[in-house]
A and B are shown apart, each in its own frame.
Chain A
Amino acid sequence: MQTKTSKSALFPYVLWIAFFVIAPIALVVYYSLLDLHGNFTLDNYKAFFSSVYLKMTLSSFWYAFLITFFTLLISYPTAYFLTKTKHKQLWLLLIIIPSWINLLLKTYAFIGIFGLYGPINAFIEVFGFDPKQMLFTDISFVFVSVYIFIPFMILPIFNSLDRLNPTLIYAARDLGASAFTTFRRVVLPLTMDGVKSGIQVVFIPALSLFMITRLIAGNRVITLGTAIEQQFLVTQNWGMGSTIAVFLILFMVIIMLITGQKDKGGRVR
């Protein structure tokens, strides 16, 4: 009796899954097989394996890698030190607040900061260098992306560090491990789950950024996301856009398989 009402509770939810999860993916796959006139073709896939698109995919991966790498490099120590502060939940909240400020506004700030007359150039001039145009370079693109993603990387790493049993560290130290060995052999392996989910939440969006590339990098950097946006909204070639989307979904699945957490049980506590 009870299950019957609960089953009907499932109804709108299943409808949602069918309409907004399964149907869109199916439609993207379907459209990837259509040319501009709506005929079935595999040309889009052939085009994707041409040098233009392969090069773009590679460069998109390269930028996503750089962004993830620098984000991790900055976030891990931050999360590590945060767990050692007195009011760590409050400090964590303070780290998270900037991530709730609209993405567009933060990106817009950098248009001013990196501008020809902006504070960075003014700072450089103090040391006697000539002001340079820093906007529309790939360095500024990576910098802004790292800035945007830092809170998202800190959060999972912080959580995994926070769950870490401190007695394990004491034990390692008591048994004569140096601080570095303790970190490498105890802390890092035990917080790998947090690092992996951090990489997951940064790398996949980094592949598909398009707003930051447009505003900060001009058209110097073209990611998979930029290409999809271009095909859908500018060129109006939905077929090609869907094909790139299909590959982006494939890459996403592969990345999730690599960074997925397999060890559900058997964790030493």
Chain B
Amino acid sequence: MNKLSASAKVYLTIVFIVLYAPIFYLIFYSFNSGGSMNHFESFTLEHYQAVFEDSRLLVILINTVIVALLSALISTIIGTLGAIGIVTVKDSKMRNTLLSLNNVLIVSPDVIIGASFLILFTMVGIKLGFASVLLAHVAFSVPIVVLMVLPKLLEMNNSLIDAALDLGATKKDVMMRVILPYIQPGIFAGFFLALTYSLDDFAVTFFVTGNGFSTLSVEIYSMARAGISLTVNAISGLVFFVTVLVVVGYYFMTSRTSKRMEGHR
């Protein structure tokens, strides 16, 4: 590989600065004792304090986390089972149909998912609120889990299953001790992605959340529409911190498991 030229380095640096500047701009002013994002007066933690003292905001934060964890968990179960099921479908036409249907929600714009789910929930009679938001998040996370688990299943050697069966393993043993351990990295990746999709989602939630239930994204939207409030900056500081923590943790976890896998081979 040829080395990067100086101009390429400058270009990359500029892209990185532009990508990170708004985030650090937000975090920087979250420590501002003045009320605006223009003039830095002096250092303070009062906005962070305000976040933790605002019980309504805390409830929203907890709601967001609960919805994310629950929806990721449920969609991981449905998606993993679905992927296992898809692999057994031998008819290639049928399998392709299932896969295309799987991808519909991935490529659909959020607005369409939100609007169509709003119609669906209203027609079926599900009250808009926690239940509808949770169902919607499960719904749009399932296909991602399937896409994460499916490659692992496809690369698995079938003779592993045959060997286990020959050695007297029951079907349950095969599932618990052969298939699931093998596809575990895919399941983790699916769960993790489902979690981030749920935490990040605004548009779908915005459509199907009624009055009285709110997630962080929706709340930030209404706060931002009302104008600048440094509480939002403090929230972004916290969100950034948690995100980096999770990403670094995930990065080390996956690189460690892949190293372990390599060691086995």
**Interface bracket on A:** 35 or more
Number of interface residues of B (CB under 8 A): 83
Q: Is A158 an interface residue (CB 8 A)?
A: no
Q: Is B217 an interface residue (CB 8 A)?
A: yes
Residue of B nearest to A121 (CB): B38
B216 near A: Cβ within 8 Å?
yes
> By the criterion CB–CB under 8 Å, are A13 and B81 in contact?
yes
Asked if B115 and A94 make an inter-chain contact with CB atoms under 8 angstroms apart, the answer reads: no
Q: Which stretch in B44-52, B53-61, B82-90, B182-190 binds the other chain?
A: B82-90
Task: Provide the B104-119 mask, 1 if CB < 8 A to any CB of A, else 0.
Answer: 1101111111011111
Q: Please determine whether A9 and B251 come into contact, CB atoms closer than 8 angstroms.
A: no
Query: A-B contact count, CB below 8 Å?
Result: 238
Q: Which residue of chain A has its CB nearest to the CB of B7?
A: A81
Interface: A74 (CB within 8 A): yes
CB distance from B76 to the nearest CB of A (A): 12
Of the candidate stretches A42-50, A51-59, A97-105, A185-193, the one touching chain B is A97-105
Docked pose: A97 CA to B251 CA in angstroms:
12
Question: Given A20-B105, A102-B200, is A115 in contact with B38 using a C-beta cutoff of 8 Å?
Answer: yes
Name A105's contact: one of B16, B107, B235 (CB within 8 Å).
Answer: B235
Residues on A with beta carbons closer than 8 Å to the beta carbon of B112: 28, 208, 228, 245, 248-249
A residues 1-52 near B (Cβ < 8 Å) are 1-3, 5-7, 9-14, 16-17, 19-25, 27-28, 31
Give, as a whole number of angstroms, the nearest-CB distance from A118 to chain B.
6
Main secondary structure of the interface of B (DSSP, over half): helix
A109–B220 CB distance below 8 A: no
24 contacting pairs across A/B (C-beta < 8 A):
A2-B171, A13-B78, A13-B82, A13-B142, A16-B78, A20-B105, A21-B101, A24-B113, A27-B116, A31-B119, A77-B8, A81-B11, A94-B16, A97-B244, A100-B247, A102-B239, A104-B224, A108-B236, A109-B22, A111-B228, A112-B26, A119-B38, A245-B115, A249-B108
Residues of B at under 8 Å CB distance from A?
Answer: 1-4, 8-9, 11-12, 15-16, 18-20, 22-23, 25-26, 29, 36-39, 77-79, 81-82, 84-89, 98, 101-102, 104-105, 107-113, 115-120, 123, 139, 142, 146, 161, 165, 171, 174-175, 196, 199-200, 202-203, 206-207, 216-217, 220-221, 224-225, 228, 232, 235-236, 239-240, 243-244, 247, 251
Please name the 8 residue pairs, one residue from A and one from B, whose CB atoms are nearest each other, closest first: A10-B85, A13-B82, A24-B116, A208-B109, A112-B37, A109-B22, A20-B139, A6-B88
